[in-house]
């Protein structure tokens, strides 16, 4: 139920209504924008509680053109669209780069002649699909009931439902740095659970390279960092701890040459075989695409070439640095052979499919 102050009720009942719409947008990175369709900037203050975030200076923009807004007592998703010219503080490149995807938006009205009258709440939701054309934007504003229509339950699939490195998978993509005179626990076979403990059962050396080291014999590390055996499967004695070498799941590299926005040759000190980064992802640490994460389609070791599933929205330049993460095809074989983590596999490859469930005794395929 919407409530308004007595002063706002008076303003709404007056013969001359002085209402201005205000738009508050908060992106997922906490960057905020405040705009109004009034012809002068409005400074709103004095709001408290959950409305306190709406306090601030709202800059005038050419009047947006919102679509009709319908609301009912059912749980139907009440969406609307807002179209208008690009505001001066909204960079079109940010829209193309997905910075506004899922942003929170508040739409409300104020009496511009008496800002102390409070606000009239019109809509709260999130930004969905965004279209840009001829220096115009079209924002889809999704109502607060939108999350109720999203699938949030687990389903049975042949492939693993976890993502490599998440809390369900438990593989440590970026293990902690080795520490001296520290008690380390043994990593359990077929289970990455101990990789997320402290101290973890897997470490990386101080000068990070293409290797991680798994604790295969528990004990206490020595006072100084050992000479690591960098051969995959080789062992390193460290105090009373024995480490076994394996390939790292995360590396730092740079762009050597650019073929297109989705294909480039990289500088990467690794011997990771073809396909090792397939379905992994790249996250740029500098350049125009800083912070953006996209999926890798393919990796070729001999040419050090990666092809992305989708192109990066901004220009990729030689020298841009990034983090690259190993991929997982979510199969039982990959979980068992590549990552030695079958106990945390979240797929159900042995559950019969629909065709098997509907087979009958006289089925020719029986």
Query: For residue 266, what pLDDT band results from cuts at 50, 70 and 90?
Result: very high
Whether the pLDDT of residue 113 is over 70: the answer is yes
- Same domain for 195 and 117, yes or no, is no
Q: Is the pTM of this model over 0.95?
A: no
Which of 189, 214, 247 marks a domain boundary? Answer: 247
- Same domain for 56 and 41, yes or no, is yes
Whether the pLDDT of residue 154 is over 80: the answer is no
- Same domain for 132 and 13, yes or no, is yes
- Same domain for 76 and 108, yes or no, is yes
Whether the pLDDT of residue 73 is over 50: the answer is no
Query: For residue 147, what pLDDT band results from cuts at 50, 70 and 90?
Result: low
Check if the beta carbon of residue 133 is closer than 8 Å to that of residue 353: no
Per residue in 243-254, pLDDT (tens digit) is: 999 999 999 999
Check if the beta carbon of residue 215 is closer than 8 Å to that of residue 240: no
Is 340 within the bounds of a domain?
no
Query: For residue 75, what pLDDT band results from cuts at 50, 70 and 90?
Result: very low
Query: For residue 299, what pLDDT band results from cuts at 50, 70 and 90?
Result: very high
- Same domain for 226 and 312, yes or no, is no
Whether the pLDDT of residue 202 is over 50: the answer is yes
- Same domain for 265 and 201, yes or no, is no
- Same domain for 187 and 130, yes or no, is no
Is 156 within the bounds of a domain?
no
Is 256 within the bounds of a domain?
yes
Which of 188, 213, 247 marks a domain boundary? Answer: 247
**Mean per-residue pLDDT, 102-128:** 89
- Count structural domains, the chain: 3
Q: How far apart are CA 211 and CA 223, in angstroms?
A: 21
The number of residues in the chain equals: 366
Is 129 within the bounds of a domain?
yes
Which of 187, 218, 247 marks a domain boundary? Answer: 247
- Same domain for 216 and 258, yes or no, is no
- Same domain for 285 and 263, yes or no, is yes
Longest dimension (CA), the chain: 86
Is 103 within the bounds of a domain?
yes
> Which of 33-42, 151-160, 288-297 shows the lowest mean pLDDT across its residues?
151-160
Q: What is the CATH number of the domain that holds 268?
A: 2.40.10
Nearest to 28 by CA among 165, 121, 127: 127
Sign of CA dihedral 91, 96, 99, 105: positive
pLDDT score for 279 = 95
Range of the domain at 186: 176-247
Residue 309 or 124, more confident: 309
pLDDT score for 217 = 94
Query: For residue 123, what pLDDT band results from cuts at 50, 70 and 90?
Result: confident
- Same domain for 319 and 268, yes or no, is yes
- Same domain for 282 and 316, yes or no, is yes
- Same domain for 188 and 306, yes or no, is no
The per-residue b/e assignment along 299-333, b for 16 or more CB within 10 angstroms, e otherwise, is beeeebbbebeeebbbebeeebebbbbbbbebbbe
Q: How far apart are CA 327 and CA 247, in angstroms?
A: 13
> Which of 82-91, 112-121, 339-348 shows the lowest mean pLDDT across its residues?
82-91
**Mean per-residue pLDDT, 141-160:** 75
Is 78 within the bounds of a domain?
yes
Residue 119 DSSP SS3: strand
Mean pLDDT value across the chain = 85
pLDDT score for 364 = 61
Residue 46 or 136, more confident: 46
Residue 219 or 135, more confident: 219
DSSP 81-105: EEEEEPPTTS-HHHHHTTTTTT-EE
> Which of 36-45, 121-130, 260-269, 311-320 shows the lowest mean pLDDT across its residues?
121-130
């Amino acid at each position: 139920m919407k409530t308004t102050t007595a002063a706002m009720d008076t303003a709404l009942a007056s013969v001359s209504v002085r209402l201005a719409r205000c738009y508050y947008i908060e992106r997922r990175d906490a960057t905020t924008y405040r705009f109004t369709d009034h012809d002068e900037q409005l400074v709103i203050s004095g709001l408290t509680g959950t409305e306190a975030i709406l306090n601030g200076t709202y800059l005038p923009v050419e009047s947006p053109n919102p679509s009709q807004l319908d609301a009912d007592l059912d749980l139907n998703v009440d969406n609307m669209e807002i179209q208008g010219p690009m505001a001066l503080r909204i960079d079109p490149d940010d829209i193309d780069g997905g910075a506004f995807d899922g942003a929170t938006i508040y739409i409300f009205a104020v009496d511009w002649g008496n800002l102390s009258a409070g606000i009239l709440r019109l809509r709260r939701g999130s930004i969905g699909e965004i279209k840009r054309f001829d220096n115009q934007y079209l924002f889809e504003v999704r109502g607060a009931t939108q999350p109720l229509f999203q699938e949030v339950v687990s389903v049975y699939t042949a492939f693993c439902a976890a993502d490599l490195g998440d809390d369900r998978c438990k593989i440590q993509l970026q293990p902690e740095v080795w520490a001296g005179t520290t008690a380390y626990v043994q990593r359990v076979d077929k289970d990455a659970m101990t990789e997320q403990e402290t101290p973890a059962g897997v470490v990386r050396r101080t000068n990070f390279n293409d290797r991680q080291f798994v604790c295969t014999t528990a004990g206490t590390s020595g006072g100084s960092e050992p000479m690591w055996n960098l051969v995959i499967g080789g062992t390193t004695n460290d105090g009373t701890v024995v480490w076994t070498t394996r390939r790292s799941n995360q590396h730092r590299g740079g762009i050597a040459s650019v073929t297109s926005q989705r294909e480039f040759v990289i500088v990467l000190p690794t011997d990771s075989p073809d396909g090792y980064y397939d379905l992994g992802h790249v996250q740029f640490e500098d350049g125009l695409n800083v912070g953006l994460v996209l999926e890798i389609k393919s990796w070729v070791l001999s040419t050090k070439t990666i092809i992305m599933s989708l192109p990066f929205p901004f220009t990729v330049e030689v020298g841009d640095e990034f983090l690259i993460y190993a991929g997982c095809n979510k199969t039982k074989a990959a979980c068992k052979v590549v990552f030695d983590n079958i106990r945390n596999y979240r797929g159900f490859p042995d559950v019969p499919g629909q065709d098997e469930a509907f087979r009958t005794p006289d089925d020719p395929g029986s």
